[in-house]
């Protein structure tokens, strides 16, 4: 089991670690490690939210560019009517 390490050997190592460092020090290390993991998860979630908002702004930007293309087509129609007026004179 676990590459030749039995549960009894793990318990003995855990007991030695507790004797060397003490329970208070181990509790502080566990608390710090838990806080670091929570901070990492929060940063990853914020990064995902930024990507979603950037994607949304790209979608909004693409909609406005289609409106610009409509504006350009109207300008072209106005030029044709101006050219037609010049030909009529």
Segment 23-61, tens digit of pLDDT: 899 899 999 999 999 999 999 888 877 777 777 666 655
64 found inside a domain: yes
Q: How many domains does the chain have?
A: 1
Q: How far apart are CA 45 and CA 51, in angstroms?
A: 10
Check residue 60 and give its pLDDT: 57
70 found inside a domain: yes
Domain coverage including residue 46: 7-81
Residue spans of alpha helices (H) in 1-88: 7-21, 23-88
67 found inside a domain: yes
**Residue 76 has which token pair?**
């072209």
11 found inside a domain: yes
2 found inside a domain: no
| 20 band by pLDDT with thresholds 50, 70 and 90 | very high
Q: How far apart are CA 45 and CA 15, in angstroms?
A: 38
43 found inside a domain: yes
40 found inside a domain: yes
């Amino acid at each position: 089991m676990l590459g030749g390490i039995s549960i009894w050997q793990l318990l003995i190592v855990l007991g030695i670690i507790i004797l060397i460092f003490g329970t208070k020090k181990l509790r502080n290390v566990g608390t710090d490690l838990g806080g670091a993991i929570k901070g990492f998860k929060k940063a990853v979630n914020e990064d995902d939210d930024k990507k979603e908002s950037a994607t949304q702004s790209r979608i909004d930007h693409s909609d406005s560019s289609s409106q610009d293309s409509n504006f350009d087509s109207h300008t072209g129609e106005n030029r044709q009517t101006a050219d037609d007026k010049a030909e009529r004179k």
